[in-house]
Amino acid sequence: MLVLAATPLGDARDASVRLREAIATADVVAAEDTRRFRALAAALDVPVRGTVLSHYDAVETARLPGLLDDVRAGRTVLVVTDAGMPAVSDPGYRLVAAAAAEDLPITCLPGPSAVTTALVLSGLPCDRFCFEGFAPRKTGDRARWLAQLLHEPRAVVFFESPHRLGDTLRTAVEVLGPERAAAVCRELTKTYEEVRRGPLAELAEWAAGEVRGEITVVLAGAAPTAAPPVESLVPAVQERVAEGERLKDAVAAVAKAAGVGKRELYNATLQSS
């Protein structure tokens, strides 16, 4: 069986009983960093009897055939990353996809995740959220990425390097506005855990200084905007119809883009004819 297991973000005491059992019994352990894995096993006082292989981004594809062979042969392959859940901006996704394509047995041992931990600590509404992985490295790409989040109604979670955090937050101020609420979560579950909450402008000013550690950022969802009056959308519908589009299709497209009801817009269009 292929087993993906969440590992502690920083405090070894967060390790589950099932993770301890998996480490002790796995035939093969595919670890993002073998040294960190062995350090975790030692901290948990769990013996490792299986073969330990490196399984980081650069070798993930090359490791696939051998790991799949192990699962086919009836061995238990345990996949772990440095911290948190495999495949969430970490190695694991390609192996799961390949194993699933062959209908090989796969399971997951749930546990710590920086994404959900940051969400609940942010103090922001998080009943709906999206995860964006790591923020783009280049300035232009980062600005375009943030522009796509301008009207995102859900909370947004992403990872960032401490060295780029200041630049990212300054760009966020320019694109999303200085008052957009956010939280920067640093070193989650570790000795120097810190959560900074406030408007983007305030956080960008703080991040201009030296910031260290693992960083997870949470952005508040965009405030809902009022829908425009239905009557103001009629010309857009009429223009699309004049270009050959069916009235029903034109109404549906314009109503969806503006966030208004199709029936209201349809009736308003008929009344204006």
Q: How far apart are the first and last CA of the chain?
A: 66
* pTM (2 d.p.): 0.80
Mean pLDDT computed over 152-170: 97
Task: Find, among 64, 66, 70, the residue nearest to 96 by Cα.
Answer: 64
Cα-flanking dihedrals φ and ψ of residue 50, to 5°? -85, 175
Give backbone dihedrals phi and psi of 218, rounded to 5 degrees, phi first.
Answer: -120, 125
Classify the C-alpha dihedral 126-131-137-141 as positive or negative: negative
Q: Which residues contact 85 (CB under 8 A, 6 or more apart)?
A: 4, 6, 108, 111, 112, 113
In this predicted model, what pLDDT tens digit does every residue of 169-194 receive, in sequence order?
999 999 999 999 999 999 999 999 99
Residues 210-257: pLDDT tens digits?
999 999 999 999 987 777 888 899 999 999 999 999 999 999 999 988
The 10s digit of each residue's pLDDT in 6-24 is 999 999 999 999 999 999 9
pLDDT at 199 over 80: yes
Query: Would the pLDDT of 203 be above 90?
Result: yes
Share of the chain above pLDDT 90, in %: 91
- Residues 239 and 76: their CA atoms lie apart, in Å, by 62
Q: How far apart are CA 94 and CA 267, in angstroms?
A: 50
The mean per-residue pLDDT over the stretch 144-169 comes to 96
- Closest by CA to 107, choosing from 94, 96, 91, is 96
Contact by Cβ (8 Å): 82, 32: yes
The secondary structure of residue 45, as a DSSP letter, is: T
pLDDT of amino acid 24: 98
DSSP notation for 113-150: -HHHHHHHHHTS--SSEEEEEEPPSSHHHHHHHHHHTT
Q: State residue 146's pLDDT score.
A: 95
> What's the pLDDT band for 260 if we cut at 50, 70, 90?
confident
pLDDT of the residue at 225 = 74
- pLDDT tens for each residue of 28-72: 999 999 999 999 999 999 999 999 999 999 999 999 999 999 999
Angle at 84 between CA 78 and CA 87, to 5 degrees: 65
DSSP letter for each residue of 190-250: STT-EEEEEEHHHHHHHHTS---S-EEEEEPPPPPPPPPPGGGGHHHHHHHHHTT--HHHH
Query: With 80 as the cut, is the pLDDT of residue 273 above it?
Result: no
pLDDT band of residue 166 (cuts 50, 70, 90) is very high
